[in-house]
Structure 1
């Protein structure tokens, strides 16, 4: 996508989150096709979908269609939040110095997600922030983890309380450390790898079923 396309998608995503009735997204994602998007008013009326259709006028690539699937799953998972709440979320996520970055960040993250399951997790994370269960900083940290970790390693966090990080095999432990889910502690009382408990709890208690 070009820079102009990125800016258009960023603006339309924010408009979709803050102004659209996301509760109407009841379509089975497995049934989505190009024809159904063009014919289904509910999807076509979402600003983000309209922008994508405009970009697709020169032809639809597989990656573009995968991006739309992930976007719809993300929005559908966020639909439990009221429109008023969603407007407040965007305001709270914005940095006063970089007002336009929220949409750009979300677009970039969603584009890089490898599966629809991760898109659902990101939507759940936005809902947690909207319900004040996690902070702004935690939202972006969890989003980073969802983007970077393989899904199998995310699912493994469900059992983190029963696992010593020191005993996790090297590759997985390295991945956990690289995204901030653990660190190396060396002091009088402890030496070794320790979990970042709050982030692990967010995945365990709220995101992983």
Structure 2
């Protein structure tokens, strides 16, 4: 293998332009949206010269040789998945145009939103959370979440065990709430799921009963806008 000098290993990311590149890809993707990027492997991305020429991917990956900058390729895969999910056609066109106008007219806002997205996406260790973030972002653009609600849910989601996603789905059968009045009709309970969601900050144990369960407002929004849309994939 050809020797690579330290300076060649990782090309610094252009922090000034990458925010604009991300926003540009959200509105005008320059790659094939028919591909499920959550299913591609890092090796496939490394070997795909076309994908590496996408402006934002090129900025992130920089000068890469086999075996170098795997984290950057993983980040690139998550960004492709996020952008592809954002462009699934589920956003109201008028609201999408309203958001587009805002990012085009307010550079400070554009950098702030792009920075937040990249920080949280970069921290993901599994691709499912990236899709959930995309779903939540679509809910924000659709004006179903405020900016502060969106960021608050992302902040809490950052520490949620991915196994809890199944718990949200399982607990849907009794409305994500267990009380002294309905617990006998709930059937067998999965306390592991409940514990993961509570410790993750998206549910509480109501004070009126020692063994209750109830989603917080953020928990309800996470399920409705982030997890439920990908129910079939969990």
TM-score w.r.t. the length of structure 2 is 0.64
Question: 5+ unaligned residues in a row in structure 2: which ranges?
Answer: 1-9, 181-188
- The equivalent residue for 1:33 is 45
2:178 corresponding residue in structure 1 = 164
SS at 1:120's partner residue? helix
Asked if 1:182 corresponds to 2:203, the answer is: yes
Match of 1:72 among 67, 76, 80: 80
Instruction: Say yes or no: does 1:136 pair with 2:147.
Output: yes
Name structure 1 gaps, 5 residues minimum. Answer: none
Task: Using the TM superposition, give the Cα deviation of residue 77 of structure 1 relative to its aligned residue in structure 2, in angstroms.
Answer: 0.6
Residues 6 and 109 from structure 1, CA distance in 2 versus in 1: closer, same or farther, beyond 3 angstroms? farther
Residue 106 to residue 86, structure 1, CA distance change in 2 (3 Å): farther
Question: Could you tell me how far apart the structure 2 residues matched to 1:177 and 1:96 are?
Answer: 38
Shift in Å, 1:97? 7.8
TM-score of the superposition, structure 1-length normalised? 0.71
Taking the aligned partners of 2:108 and 2:59, their CA distance within structure 1 comes to 26
Structure 1 distance, partners of 2:29, 2:94, is 7
Q: Tell me: CA distance 1:60–1:16, structure 2 relative to 1, closer, same or farther (3 Å).
A: farther
Per-residue CA deviation, residues 31-53 of structure 1 (Å, 9 max, x unaligned), is 442221x2x2xx45643112124
Contact 1:146/1:154 (<8 A) preserved: no
| Paired position in structure 1 for 2:26 | 17
Q: Residues of 2 paired with 1:73 and 1:191: CA distance?
A: 42
Checking the alignment, whether the CA contact within 8 Å between 1:183 and 1:194 is kept in structure 2 is: yes
Higher helix share: 1
Change (3 A) 1:154 1:6: farther
Mapped to 1, the partners of 2:76 and 2:179 lie a distance apart of 37
> 1:22·1:75 contact (CA, 8 Å) conserved in 2?
no
Q: Distance in 2 between matches of 1:155 and 1:22?
A: 34
Number of the residue aligned with 1:54: 62
SS at match of 1:195: strand
Superposed displacement of residue 88, structure 1:
0.9
1:186-209 CA-partner distances (Å, limit 9, x unpaired): 5xxx36666344333334334231
Aligned pair 1:199/2:222, yes or no? no
Tell me the SS of whatever aligns to 1:204.
Answer: helix
Which of 1, 9, 13 does residue 5 from structure 1 map onto? Answer: 13
Query: How well do the aligned residues superpose, as a CA RMSD in angstroms?
Result: 4.0
